[in-house]
Structure 1
Amino acid sequence: MGKWPVIVAAILLAVSTTVTGKPFSLLEDVLRLPERENAMSDIFAANEGAMERLNLVEGDIRMPEDEGPHRLHKRNAVPYKDNTWTNKVVPISVSPDLPPAAHIAVQEAIDEYHKKTCIRFKQRTNEQEYIQVFKGEGCWSYIGRVGSQPNRISLDSGCETKGIAVHEFMHALGFWHEQSRYDRDNFVTIYLDNVKPGRNGEKDYYYGNFDRLTRINSQTLDTTYDYHSVMHYPTDAFGKSGKITIEPRLGEANFKWLGQRNGLSDIDTLKINRLYECDMVVCTDQPDVFACQQKCVKLKDGFTCGCHRGFSLDSDGYHCSDINECAKENFGCSHRCVNLIGGAYCACPKGHHLRDDGKTCTETNECAQGNGGCEHLCTDTPGAFECSCYDGFKLRRDGYTCKDVDECASRDHGCQQECANYVGGYHCACQEGYVLQRDGTTCEEIHCYGLAAPGGGSVDPAENCSTNGARAGQRCTFSCDPGYELVGSENRTCLINGSWEGEHADCRAKLCDVLTPPSNGSLSPPSCADPGALRVGKECVYVCGPGLVLNGTAHRVTCTPGHNGTMGWGTPGPNGTMVWDNLDTPTCIPDRLTCTPGHNGPMVWGTPGPNGTMGWDNLGAPACIPDEDPWMQCPHRLHVSTSPGRDYATANLTAPLTNLQQIFVDGNLTLGPNNFSVGETPVLFYGYSAGVERIECETAVVVTDDEHPEFVSCPESFEVNSSRQFPHVHWEKPEVRDNVGIAAVRRSRFPKGRMTWGQYSVRYTARDQAGNHAVCRFNIHVKKPACPPLPSPDHGSLTCDWWRLGQFCDLTCSDGYTPQGALFRYVCGTQGTWMPRTPLPTCLPI
C-alpha cells in the first residue's frame, strides 16, 4: 500500500441502532463477510469478456447510444425527476428464455423491493417504458428510466443470484455505484497504479471506472457513505492480480472486503425511499395492514417500526428523526464534527489528519508514512507534500511516480558517436574500431602498438605495421631473409580491443655444418668449432702453424644459403656471387725448403723438423695465395625483456668476429653490459685495416615489455543500505601503475551515479603499450533496510507477503480467540521500520 488512511468516517465508530432490542453494527457485519461476498465480484467474473466489447461503464452499466460511455451527467442518484419511474410503479417483462435460477433471482429481488420500499413492480402490458429482463451477454443494466423505450437488464450465466438482480434493479431505478459519490475521498482511498491495463495494453483504459462525481451532477440524498451497500465495488475492482484498488480510510485491516450480495442495505433502502419520496415502508404486501417510515421489525405477533442508524424513533412510533451526533460533546472530535443525515464524522483542518481513533487530529507528515506514496523523493510542506524525482527522471502526471528521462533523445547529450540510455541516466559509446576516451564523450580510433620487423626479416606493410602502428583490422605479414626461417605467426591482425592476433614472429638463422680444421692448422675464430654459432653470414678462416702456409681452394669461407634452401660454406665468386659447392678442406705446407741428403743418399728438399731433424718425405710444391682481406662479422640480434619494475633491460654486448686488431662501438655504448630502453636499438661496430680502411657491421638489441600493469589500489566489494530506491553510490577510483606507462584504462561503470536496489559487478581493465593488461574487479550490493522480524503471537499467526517496496503482514487469531485492540496491516516501510508502530495486539480467549 502506498499511503495510510488519514481521514476516517466517524459513522463506523460505535454507531448503531436498536431493532427489537438487538444492536446492529456495520463493522461487525463487514467482518463476518467471507471472501468475494460482494455482488460486484460476481458481476465482474460474469462480465470478464463483455466489459470491453460492450463498452460497459464501471463494469456493468450500458449507456444509451446517443450518450456514449463518458457522458457528462453521471450521477450517484438521478438528479432529475424525469429519469425516475412514474408513481413509483415499474412495469417489468421477463423473457421466457431466462434460466429458472434467474427467474427465482428476479422474484427474490422484487420481493426485497416490495418489502423495504414503496416501489411496486407490475407485469408489463402495453407500456413503452418498462424494464425488460433477458438473457444477454453478462450482467448489466441502463441507469434509470431511459425514455420511450425499455430499460434492458441482462442476466446471463453467472448472474442468477438475488444480490446481482437487486444490484441491477437499483441501477434501473436510477442509482450508480456507491464509490462514485462526490464525497467518497473522505471514506475510501483509490489506488490507480494498481488498476489493470486494457485489452490492448492502454494503462488508463479502466481509470474512468473510478471517476468521482461532482455536487452538480449527483445527489447523495443526505445519506452517509455506505460501506455495506449492495452497489459498492469490492477491494480488488479492476485490479491487477492480487492488487487492492479501493480501500476504506478507517481501519483498513478490518475491511478486507466491501459491499455485500445479501440484498439492500439500510442506507440503500433509505436512499431509494428518499429518491421516490416514500413516506412509509410497508411491512406486508397489503399496504393497509402496517407501515413505517423507515424499517419494519417483525415481532412474534406482528410488526413494530424501527429506524436506520443515526435516527431515533419519534414518539408516534412511526416516524424517524435524524440524531445530531455533533450536538453531544462534539461527537468526541478534537476539531470539527460534520453531521450527516443518519450519521456524523470528524474532520481535520488542512495539514492534519485523523488518528486511528477516528476522533483526534494530528499534524500530518505525509512523507513519514510510506514516503507519501512518492516513488523517489517526498518533501513535506505546510499542510501538504510534494513528490520529486532523482536526476535522470521526471515526475509523471499522477504526481507520484517517476519516469526515466531519455537523455539520448535530446541533442544535448554530447556523445560524439553513439548514446545509450539506461534507467536513471545514459552513457556514450563508440562504433566498432573506436574506443571511448577519458572525457566519456569522444571516441578515438583503436590502434595496436607497432610490430618491429624481425632480425633477418621484414614486416609488410612496414609503414602501417611498425612505423605508425596499425588500425583495427590491419593485417601484417612477416617474412625472413634467405638463411633464416620464420618462428611464430606469419600473419597477425590488429583486433578491435587494441591487441594483436597470433604469436610473436621472429626469424631464426639456419646453421651450416661444422668445418674440419686443416692438418697442422686450426679455425679462427674459435667459435667456428661451435655448431650453434654457424649462422648465415658466419665467416671462418683457416690458420696454419708457424712455418706453414695454407694450400687449398679457399682460406676464408662464409656460411651462406644454397640454391635449394640448404646451408653451406662458400667463397666469394664473380659479380658478388658465392661459390660453395664441393669445397675441399685446405692443407698447411712449409713456406720454405732446405736442400738436404735423404735417407737413401740422394739430395732432396726438406723442412726443419723437431730436434734439428729435417722433414722431407712427400713434400708437395707450395702454392701462391693472396694476402687476407680485412673482415668483420657482427653478433646476431639480441632479444631481451625489461628488468622487473624497470622501463629498460640490461644486455651484454660481445665483440664481433674479425681479423682487425682493434674494435670500437659507435655512440655511448661499450662492450659488456649496457642499458637499453623498450624497442629496437641499433648497435654499430667498426675498426680499421692496415690500409686505414674503415670496416663496420651492424646488429641490434630488441627490448620487449612482458610485465603486466599493476593496480596499486582496487576497492573492496561493499554494500550500500539505503531507504531511497535510487541512492547516490560512489567509490574511490583505482590506482594503476606500469613499468613503461599505461596506454588506456576502461571501466564498466562510472565511479559516481545512482543505482537501485540490487547487485552489481564493477570492472576496470588497464592496458600498457605492449598490450599487457591487468584487471580490478569488485562487487556492489545496494540493499533496502530490512525490518526486524515480527514476533509470532500466542494463539495466533502472521500471514506475510511482499509488495513493491517490501513486506506486509496480517494477524489472525486462532479459533476461540479474539484480538485485544484494533487490527492493522503491518507494512515494512522503506526506512526499515514497521508501520504502524503500535505493538501487535494480543489474542485473548473469547
Structure 2
Amino acid sequence: MNRLRNLAFVLAFSLLTVADCSTGTQMTEATSTSQSGEDNAERNLVALKNTTLPPNPCDAVSCSHGCDVNDDGGAHCTCPVGKELDVDEKTCKDIPIKCPAGYKPNAARSGCVDIDECQQQPPVCGHSCVNTPGSYQCGCPDGYRLHPNGIHCIDINECRINNGGCSDTCYNTPGSFNCKCPRGFQLMAGGKICEQKYKCLGFGCAHNCHQAEVWYEPYCTCNLGYKLADNGKDCVDMNECGFFHRCDTSSGATCVNVVGSYKCVCNEPNKVLSADKLKCELKAQVTCSSLGCSNGCDDTRYPPVCTCPNGYRLDTNGRDCSDVDECAEQTHGCTDTCINTAGDYRCECPAGKRLSNDLKTCVSLSHVACPMPTLFRGSVNCTSTSYNPGTICTRSCRTGFALSGPPSIRCQDNGVWTPDIPAQCTDIDECANNNGGCEQTCINFLGQHACACQSGFLLRTDRKHCKDAENPEFTNCPSNIEVNTQLSYATVTWPEVTYTDNVGVVNVVGPQTNEQNFTIGVHKVKITIFDAEGNSALCSFKVHVKDLELPVVSNCPDDINRFVLEGVMVKEVTWPEPTFSDNSGSVTVTDNIPTDNLFPMGEYNVRYQAADPSGNIAVCTFLVNLTRVNCPDLRQPVNGSITCDTSAINPFCEAKCDAGFEFLKSPPEQYVCGADGGWIPTDNVPDCHRTFTPTAAKATFSARYAHVCKDPENDPVFIKQTIMPMFQSQHVQSLQFACINKPCTFTDPVITCREKDLLLTFSSNEDLSGGLDLDAYVNGVLAEVQKQRYDSFFLTLIIPGTPEFFFPPIADLENRKIDVQLSLTCADGQVQIRNKCVECPPGEPDCPLIQPGLA
C-alpha cells in the first residue's frame, strides 16, 4: 500500500466508531482523548484487532504506480514525475521528451544528453570519428578526403593540383602519389624533379661517346684502327689484318698490323708500294745494260750491281773500277820492295837475293827453284809447292774465260819454266752463242753474262726467260648511266668496251653483251680482263634505274578512339599495320609511333611514310584519341574494406575482411577497372561474417612414398608385417613436430597400395580447438615437413618382397610428399571456411548447404 493509501486508511480508522461488545456502549474519539496517549494507542490497537475495516478504494483500481482516494470515496491512479497515465487510466508511461537531433533523454528522463555516435555499431564513419555536441565529424588520413556522403574517405588526386609538384608525369596512388620520369630520365633526391639519367659527360668512353636519344644509354665507339674492349668503354688496337684491310694481295702486297692502323708492304725485291700505299707495283726497270758497268755486272740479285775484278774496287759512281794500291795500303806481304801494278802488285828483291816461290819472300840466290807461276783470272795447280826442279804445273781459267798459251809448264834445273811462253785468260763472249740462252736481251761482261727483259717484262726465276709485268688497259670504259622507268625494270645499252695489252687479252669476265635488263635501283657493272700472265684490269660503272611510280598504301586505319582511367597518363594502343607495296619490290617505311605504342592523353596524329629506292613517297595518317573514363566506387563490404591502386595502367581494388571476420564466398583476387568504366570480373562485393573458435578440430595427414609398393596384388601380410610396425615405432616419433602437447598419438593409418606409390592416411588424436591459430598451425606443419624432408620418415625405402629395412636409409627425394588438412566441428549456424568457423546467417545466399553443427 503506497503512502496515499495508508493515509486514507488512517483517516478512516480515526473516524471509525468502535462498539464495545461487552457493554453495548459506543466509544468515540472524543471519549478516548481523555486518556493518556499511551492508553489510547493500546486501546485503539485492541479496537483495531476486534473491528472489521471498510474496503480501500485503491484496491479495486490496480494502478501500476500510485493511487489517490477521491472525495466521493472513489480512487484514481497517479504517476511519478516524468510519467503520465496511459489511455487505460491505470498504467504509467514515459512522457515523451523531444530532444534535438544528436541528443537523447537522460536516464531520469529529466532532460537530454549528447549521443556519442562514434560508439555506435556498425561504425558511422569509414575511418576515424570525432564526437561533437549533438553531432559527430568523420575524419580521413593524409592523402584522403571525405566523400560527399560524409562517411567514407576517398583518395585525393594530388596530381590534379599543380601536377603534384612533379616536373614530368604524376601518378596518383591510394593516399599519396608518385612522380615518374620519361625514358632516359630519373628522379632527383626530392622525388619530384626529373633529370637526364644517361649523359655522355662522365660516361667514361676512351675515344668517342654517342647518344641516339635522351632515353638511350650512351654507347662508346673507337677511332679507326681500334675496337671496344670487353667493358664497352676502353679501346684496344684492332688487328685489321685478321679482319679486313685494303692491301691488294693479288699484287703481292702483305698486310702488317701497327697500333691503331695497318700498313701494306711489298716483300718482292723488284716491287714497291703504289702511290695509294695499297698495292705493289714494279720498280723502274734496272738492268745490267742500263747500269753502264765498265767491267762486270752481277744480275743474280735485284737490282743488279756492277762488279770489279780482283785488285780493283767499285768507284762511288757505282759503274767504274779503280785499281787497289796494295803497296800503299800495306796489304801486299812483300818482305822487301813492293811495286804496284794495274789490278795487282809484285815484290822485288835486292841484289844477291831472289823471290821465293811465294813471290813475297826474298831468299838467297844459292837456293834453286822456279818462281811461283801465276795466271790472272785463272789458277795454277802444281805437283809441289816448293817449285823445285821437276815440278809440273797445270794452268786453267775461271768460268767465262778461255786459256791462251800452253796449258802446262815444267821447272828446269836452272830454275826456269819451260816452255817459257806467257799464258793469259781472255773473256768468253757468251752472248755470241745462242744469245747466251736469253729469251730477249743478252749482256756480256768479263767472265760472265746476264739476261735482261724489255720494258713491261720481268725476268723469271730461271733468270733467262721474261714474263709480262704490265696489266691490260681499257681504252674505253663507259661512264655511269641513269635511266627512268615506270616498270619494275629497264633495258640499258652502254657503249662498247675496248681494251689493249702488250701480249694480248685471253679472258674477259663480265656481261657478254652491252645490253641488259636492270631492276629498279642502283647496279654496279664490272668487266675484268686478264692476260696470259694473269695480270688484270677492271672496268666498272653504275646503272641507276629510277622509278617514277609512287608506292601503294593498303589498309590504312581509320581514326582510333580509346578510353583511359583516372590517373592513367599514357595507354598502349595497337592496330592492324597498314601495308605498302611498290613496283620496285622494295619500300622503306618510317613512322612517328611513340615507343612501345604508349600514347598520351588527347589526340595524336600517327603518320606512316613509305619511300621506294627512287625517293617516291606515299603516306598513311590517322588520329589516336584517348579520352578519360572512371569506374564507380565499389561498395564497402560489411565488416571489411576496399583498398584500391589507381597508379596502375588498369586501376584495381582488393576486398578484405576485418580481423575476426571472413568471407563466406571468396571475392575475386582483384577488381580491375576496365577501359569501358566497368569492373572486371564483377562489381559484386560480398560481406564479411564473424569467425568463431571451432568446438573441435582434428588434423588429418596424407603421406606418399614413391617407389615403395610395387606389388599390384597388395599383399596384406607385407603391409601388416612391414608398414604398420614402421609407422607405429618410427614414424610416430618423426611426426611429433605436428603435436601441440608432446608427446601426442595418431590413429592407425589407412594404407593404400597403388601401382607406383604407397599412400598413408592418418589423423592426430589431439584436439586443436583450444584457441590455436589454425592457419599458423597448418603453415608451421608444412614448414617443418620441408625442414625434416631428409628425416627417416621421408627417407626410408622399402625393398619390395623384402620384410626387412636396410639402414642407413636410402634417400629417395620423392619420399617427402605429405599434406595436412583440418576437420573442424562448428556450432549451429556456422560453416567451415578454410581453417575457420564462420557465421552463416539463415537465408544467406553464399552459405553452403550444411548440417547444423557440422563442418
- Larger RCO (alpha carbons 8 Å, 6+ apart): 1
- TM-score bracket, normalised by the shorter chain, equals under 0.3
Calculate the TM-score normalised by the size of structure 2. Answer: 0.21
Q: Who wins on radius of gyration, i.e. which is larger?
A: 2
